[in-house]
């Protein structure tokens, strides 16, 4: 399926000289004609020989383009719906582009008391609706014109670099661009020019997009069409419709079924009794081979292979494996009382700080064992952390089905833990940036996901928020995460804990700590100090007002 992001990528690739217009058009035709393969345009061109450095660059540029576009549409709505003065809009654009503060525009306005969270949310939703409608029109026009427009430049700049992607120069008038440029120079104290340019008319300017959003009937615009395409490119672990012939089984191999714990289209998990161990309870995970596709079978096999490699009390243990007479592959795992972390968060909200930090320690211990075996988990999320009942907050790390060997440099077709090329494996809210760009991974890839999980467990919110899976991927690549204090203001967060979580969420893998380094920090006094700090009386809040908008709101590194 072809999306507006594919159109943006195709135009930029041609403008940069990475592919010819004919190559881009051919790949776009293939994407438009194929609804079954969850590969985007960049992945298709990568399979045809586009090198990794160019893949990284184009994914970053597409994310930058769409980020500044979203801010430009949001700002136009702010001007039209809230009467935001034009001179203040110019000042805001300049401060964004000069990195005076590093936060989404709406979040900064809420922080400064200029908007309520409800007003910001309504503007974000309206902007998304307007952009989705405009994207659908662009895709339809390109399909109708057989992708002729891919040869026209997207950004009017002599040389396209990351600095070319600013809202003032792409989405605003030349006069605005000049005003903002002058203010940026004053703010930076430098005499350097900001790259000029404009936007080609394939994507409408913010005013036109907003006008469309304000048209009669526009309030009901649906984001689902493009979201389906985005979601198809991200492998989920969501359950599929139940497989009827797995219901009511009395035995799986020698194991006597007690109850079905959960089921999906390709299999199920049962609580069963092991006749070899005096009827001890075990969990039996079943794959219905006749219904499963090659990817499902491969994932099942990978999980078994990794469990054989890892031996740690906080990682799920393989007891047995086999196949039933009627063609069901199964593995037998430990059974233990408790609940997935996702269920605990959904029902009880964020964990108490001490409990949350202890759980993070256990998770990092489990991941360190996985990494010591030369494997990256790649799907760390609350659904895959099982919290065992009891005061110790012991855990079991589950689901090693998309794990990958760190040192496997053989061709993709020969890899032990091979996953499908061009498909992002993992869950959108927790996936690390290098997974999105298909760059090398190591244990710090899991540290990023563990940082997202810890943030959610402690605050009840994700550090990066977006309206669709594609937007989430863009946020992981380019977005500035919330701080713990921004996400949950009723807790006095330790500055050291804030810095540690920010390091775990660093965009660049080399800037993140290892599991061992995070554990050393937590056990070296940071965890205890964080709990003490949270119990201390909070200082009186600083005076607010518009001026507060222009302070540095987030010290996370912008990349």
Measured between alpha carbons, how far is 181 from 463 in angstroms, rounded to an integer? 31
Measured between alpha carbons, how far is 451 from 367 in angstroms, rounded to an integer? 12
Segments in 279-332 forming alpha helices (H): 294-309
The Cα angle at residue 436 between residues 161 and 374, in degrees rounded to 5: 125
Cβ atoms of 82 and 75 closer than 8 Å: no
Question: What pLDDT shows up at residue 246?
Answer: 56
**CATH architecture of the domain with residue range 338-546:** Orthogonal Bundle (1.10)
Question: What pLDDT shows up at residue 299?
Answer: 77
| Catalytic pick among 274, 379, 399, 438 | 379
What is the maximum alpha-carbon separation in the chain? 81
Question: What pLDDT shows up at residue 345?
Answer: 93
Q: Please classify residue 538 by burial: count the beta carbons closer than 10 Å to its beta carbon, then call 0-12 exposed, 13-18 middle and 19+ buried.
A: exposed
Measured between alpha carbons, how far is 463 from 119 in angstroms, rounded to an integer? 20
Count of beta carbons in the 10 Å neighbourhood of residue 175: 9
The residue written with tokens 């196949």 in the block is 323
Domain limits of the chain? 4-232, 244-334, 338-546
281 DSSP β-pair partners:
273
Taking only Cα atoms into account, the Rg of the chain, rounded to an integer number of angstroms, comes to 25
338 DSSP β-pair partners:
388
282 DSSP β-pair partners:
272, 334
The helix, strand and coil proportions of the chain, stated in percent and rounded to the nearest 5, come to 50, 10, 35
CA–centroid distance for 179 within its chain: 35
Q: pLDDT (tens digit, 9 = 90+) per residue, 45-80?
A: 988 999 888 988 888 888 878 877 888 888 888 878
0.85 cut: is pTM over it?
no
- Tell me the CA distances in angstroms from 46 to 23, 423, 480, 557, one per residue in order: 12, 12, 28, 29
Contact partners, residue 405, CB within 8 Å, separation at least 6: 374, 375, 376, 415, 416, 417
Measured between alpha carbons, how far is 292 from 287 in angstroms, rounded to an integer? 7
Determine phi and psi for 254, rounding to 5 degrees.
-85, 0
Cβ atoms of 499 and 506 closer than 8 Å: no
Question: What pLDDT shows up at residue 208?
Answer: 58
Tokens of 326: 């009627």
Positions in the chain short of pLDDT 50: 100-102, 190-201, 216-230, 233-245, 409-423, 540-559
Cβ atoms of 235 and 423 closer than 8 Å: yes
For this structure, is 409 an active site residue?
no
Q: pLDDT (tens digit, 9 = 90+) per residue, 224-282?
A: 444 444 455 444 433 333 344 455 678 888 998 888 877 765 678 888 888 877 778 88
Measured between alpha carbons, how far is 423 from 421 in angstroms, rounded to an integer? 6
Measured between alpha carbons, how far is 529 from 166 in angstroms, rounded to an integer? 41
Question: What pLDDT shows up at residue 131?
Answer: 86
CA-nearest of 356, 378, 383, 357 to 367 is 378
- Tell me the CA distances in angstroms from 448 to 289, 306, 415, 445, 482, one per residue in order: 34, 21, 24, 5, 14
Measured between alpha carbons, how far is 557 from 166 in angstroms, rounded to an integer? 18
CA–centroid distance for 299 within its chain: 21
Tokens of 113: 């008391």
Would 244-334 and 338-546 be classified into the same CATH topology? no
**CATH architecture of the domain with residue range 244-334:** 2-Layer Sandwich (3.30)
Q: Please classify residue 347 by burial: count the beta carbons closer than 10 Å to its beta carbon, then call 0-12 exposed, 13-18 middle and 19+ buried.
A: exposed
Question: What pLDDT shows up at residue 2?
Answer: 86
Cβ atoms of 286 and 246 closer than 8 Å: yes
Segments in 373-431 forming alpha helices (H): none
Question: What pLDDT shows up at residue 216?
Answer: 46
Cβ atoms of 407 and 435 closer than 8 Å: no
Q: What is the residue-wise DSSP string for 221-259?
A: ---HHHHHHHHHTEE-----S--GGGTT--EETTEEEEE
The residue written with tokens 């031996």 in the block is 311
Question: What pLDDT shows up at residue 545?
Answer: 33
Cβ atoms of 446 and 376 closer than 8 Å: yes
CA-nearest of 40, 54, 48 to 5 is 40
Cβ atoms of 473 and 86 closer than 8 Å: no
Cβ atoms of 349 and 460 closer than 8 Å: yes
Measured between alpha carbons, how far is 505 from 204 in angstroms, rounded to an integer? 34
Measured between alpha carbons, how far is 333 from 280 in angstroms, rounded to an integer? 12
């Amino acid at each position: 399926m072809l999306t507006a992001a594919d159109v943006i990528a195709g135009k930029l690739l041609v403008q940069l000289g990475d592919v010819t217009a004919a190559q881009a058009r051919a790949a776009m035709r293939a994407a438009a004609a194929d609804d079954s393969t969850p590969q985007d345009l960049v992945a298709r061109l990568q399979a045809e020989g586009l090198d990794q450095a160019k893949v990284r660059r184009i994914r970053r540029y597409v994310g930058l383009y769409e980020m500044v576009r979203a801010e430009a549409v949001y700002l136009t709505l702010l001007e039209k719906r809230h009467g935001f003065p034009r001179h203040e809009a110019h000042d805001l654009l300049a401060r964004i582009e000069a990195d005076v503060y590093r936060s989404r525009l709406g979040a900064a306005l809420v922080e400064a008391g200029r908007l309520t969270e409800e007003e910001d949310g309504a503007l974000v939703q309206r902007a998304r609706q307007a952009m989705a409608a405009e994207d659908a029109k662009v895709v339809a026009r390109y399909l109708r014109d057989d992708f002729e427009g891919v040869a026209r430049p997207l950004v009017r700049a002599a040389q396209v670099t990351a600095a070319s992607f600013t809202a003032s120069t792409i989405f605003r008038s030349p006069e605005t661009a000049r005003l903002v440029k002058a203010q940026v120079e004053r703010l930076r104290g430098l005499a350097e020019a900001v790259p000029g340019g404009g936007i080609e008319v394939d994507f409408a300017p913010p005013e036109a997009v907003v006008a469309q959003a304000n048209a009669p009937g526009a309030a009901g615009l649906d984001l689902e069409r493009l979201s389906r395409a985005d979601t198809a490119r991200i492998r989920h672990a969501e359950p599929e419709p139940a497989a009827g012939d797995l219901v009511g089984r009395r035995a799986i191999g020698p194991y006597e079924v007690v109850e079905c714990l959960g089921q999906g289209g390709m299999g199920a998990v049962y609580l069963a009794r092991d006749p070899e161990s005096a009827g001890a309870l075990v969990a039996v995970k079943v794959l219905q081979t006749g219904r499963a596709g090659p990817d499902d079978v491969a994932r099942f096999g990978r999980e078994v292979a990794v469990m054989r490699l890892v031996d740690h009390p906080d990682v799920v243990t393989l007891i047995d494996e086999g196949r039933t007479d009627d063609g069901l592959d199964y593995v037998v795992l430990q059974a233990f009382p408790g609940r997935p972390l996702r269920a605990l968060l959904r029902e009880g909200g964020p964990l108490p700080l001490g409990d949350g930090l202890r759980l993070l320690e256990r998770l990092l211990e489990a991941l360190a064992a996985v990494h010591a075996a030369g494997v990256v988990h790649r799907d760390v999320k609350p659904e895959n952390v099982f919290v065992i009942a009891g005061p110790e907050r012991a855990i079991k790390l589950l689901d090693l089905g998309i794990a990958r060997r760190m040192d496997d440099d053989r061709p993709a077709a020969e890899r032990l833990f091979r996953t499908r090329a061009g498909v992002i494996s993992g869950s959108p809210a927790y996936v690390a940036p290098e997974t999105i760009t298909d760059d090398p991974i190591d244990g710090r890839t899991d540290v990023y996901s563990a940082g997202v999980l810890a943030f959610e467990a402690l605050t009840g919110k994700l550090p990066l928020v977006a309206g669709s899976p594609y937007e989430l991927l863009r946020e992981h690549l380019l977005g500035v995460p919330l701080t713990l204090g921004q996400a949950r203001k009723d807790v006095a967060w330790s500055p050291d804990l804030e810095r540690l979580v920010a390091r775990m969420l660093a965009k660049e893998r080399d800037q993140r700590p290892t599991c061992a380094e995070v554990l050393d920090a937590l056990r070296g006094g940071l965890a205890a100090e964080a709990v003490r700090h949270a119990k201390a009386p909070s200082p009186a809040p600083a005076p607010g007002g518009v001026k507060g908008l222009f302070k540095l709101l987030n010290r996370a590194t912008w990349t």
